[in-house]
Amino acid sequence: MKKYVLGMDGGATKTHAALFDIDGNKVDMLEWGPTNHEVLDGGFDGFRKEMKDLLSSLFSRNSITAGDIVSSAFGMAGVDTRKQHKIISSIIDNLGIKDFVLFNDAYLGVKAGCPSGVGICVINGSGCTIAGINAEGKMIQIGGQGSLTRDVGGGGSIGMEAIRCVYDHLFRLEPYTILKDMLFEKLQISSKYDFMEVMPEALSSGIISAGEIGKMVFEAANKGDETAISILEFVGESLGKSVNGAIHELGFKEGDVIEVVLAGSVNVKGSNPSLVNAIKKEVIDKNPDKKPEFIILQKPPVTGAVIWALQRTEHRIDNLFEKVTSQF
């Protein structure tokens, strides 16, 4: 009977589930909605329902069962604490998946972007997290719990900072920013006294999202707006500091080449380089005795989950990294 591996990247906006055979050949790829329990109605119960429906869909359309899966790797947003790991592991196990590993989704970028499987990933999409793995297999996650861990990054966070900067210009005598005009046009207002009347309602009703405003920051930066550029540089510097923390925790030594994978829509698709350049500058400046190398992740992070799942089997595949990544 044919055997398979399952790799999954579950996020706050979408989920990818990839089914491969144990020889490293792609069988199916399913795109699903969010599976982060933190954004689902019902929390962990919502996660259980989504995961059950996802697996049922994937298995039925490939005429297989959970028993045909010999190894799985799950990279899931919202797995930030031991308690969350325990609860989500139990849910996955109860759905019939028995031989699996579960980690925060940020770790997938290391497996997907670094052929050696050693490095650090900066996820910067709807949210932000830094995760790293060293040659001995030690793993570290920096951030991922919002304001509790002072996370600065993610499209929504950038958008909220833009709102604060516009407010500061209007009422705290801070410098003018083109972001004011962009937001006023979107909100269809002309008076500064309407700004905080309309802005909260626009966000709560979905007229505009913090993520959309985050994209405006990149547009404004491309027009030379100093406030927008400073926002992006601040975010990049903060993310760079988290990378530096991971480098320290993982014990990279003098002369080590450190592969830093930049992943997530903000890092990969951001239309202005100020943020990424600030990450690079912070890491390079603080690690003069090491050799950071930066990689923009061009493959979906689920690639890393598949590689991870295949590595866990007893079946050896030549050029595993190249074989899997070439199929995405």
Q: Residue 153's pLDDT is what?
A: 85
The phi, psi pair for 103, rounded to 5°, reads -140, 170
Q: Read off the pLDDT band of 277 (50, 70, 90).
A: very high
Class in CATH terms, 114-297: alpha beta
**Residue bearing the bigger pLDDT, 284 or 315:** 284
Closest to 279 in 3D by CA, of 297, 269, 293, 300? 293
Kindly state the DSSP code that residue 148 receives in the 8-state scheme.
Answer: G
pLDDT tens, residue by residue, 93-147: 999 999 999 999 999 999 999 999 999 999 998 788 999 999 999 999 998 777 7
Kindly state the DSSP code that residue 194 receives in the 8-state scheme.
Answer: G
pLDDT tens, residue by residue, 2-55: 999 999 999 888 999 999 999 999 999 999 999 999 989 999 999 999 999 999
Domain ranges of the chain: 4-103+299-325, 114-297
Ranges of H-type helices in the chain: 44-61, 82-94, 108-113, 155-171, 178-187, 195-205, 210-222, 226-250, 265-269, 274-286, 302-311, 320-325
d(CA 268, CA 149): 23
For residue 57, is pLDDT > 90?
Answer: yes
Q: Residue 196's pLDDT is what?
A: 95
- Residue 71, Cα to own-chain centre: how many angstroms? 23
> What 3-state class would DSSP assign to 20?
strand
Considering just the CA atoms, what is the radius of gyration of the chain in Å? Answer: 21
Q: What is the DSSP string of 26-57?
A: EEEEEEE----TTTSTTTHHHHHHHHHHHHHH
Give percent above pLDDT 70 in the chain: 100
For residue 149, is pLDDT > 90?
Answer: no
The phi, psi pair for 145, rounded to 5°, reads -125, 35
Q: Residue 116's pLDDT is what?
A: 92
Span of 24-33, 174-183, 220-229, 261-270 with lowest mean pLDDT = 261-270
Q: Read off the pLDDT band of 281 (50, 70, 90).
A: very high
Question: Tokens 């309309």 belong to which residue?
Answer: 198
pLDDT tens, residue by residue, 211-235: 999 999 999 999 999 999 999 999 9
∠ CA 199-203-209, rounded to 5°? 120
Q: What mean pLDDT is predicted for residues 301-328?
A: 95
For residue 67, is pLDDT > 90?
Answer: yes
Q: What mean pLDDT is predicted for residues 167-188?
A: 98
Q: Which fold has domain 4-103+299-325?
A: Nucleotidyltransferase; domain 5 (3.30.420)
pTM score, two decimals? 0.89
Same fold, 4-103+299-325 and 114-297: yes
Q: What mean pLDDT is predicted for residues 260-277?
A: 94
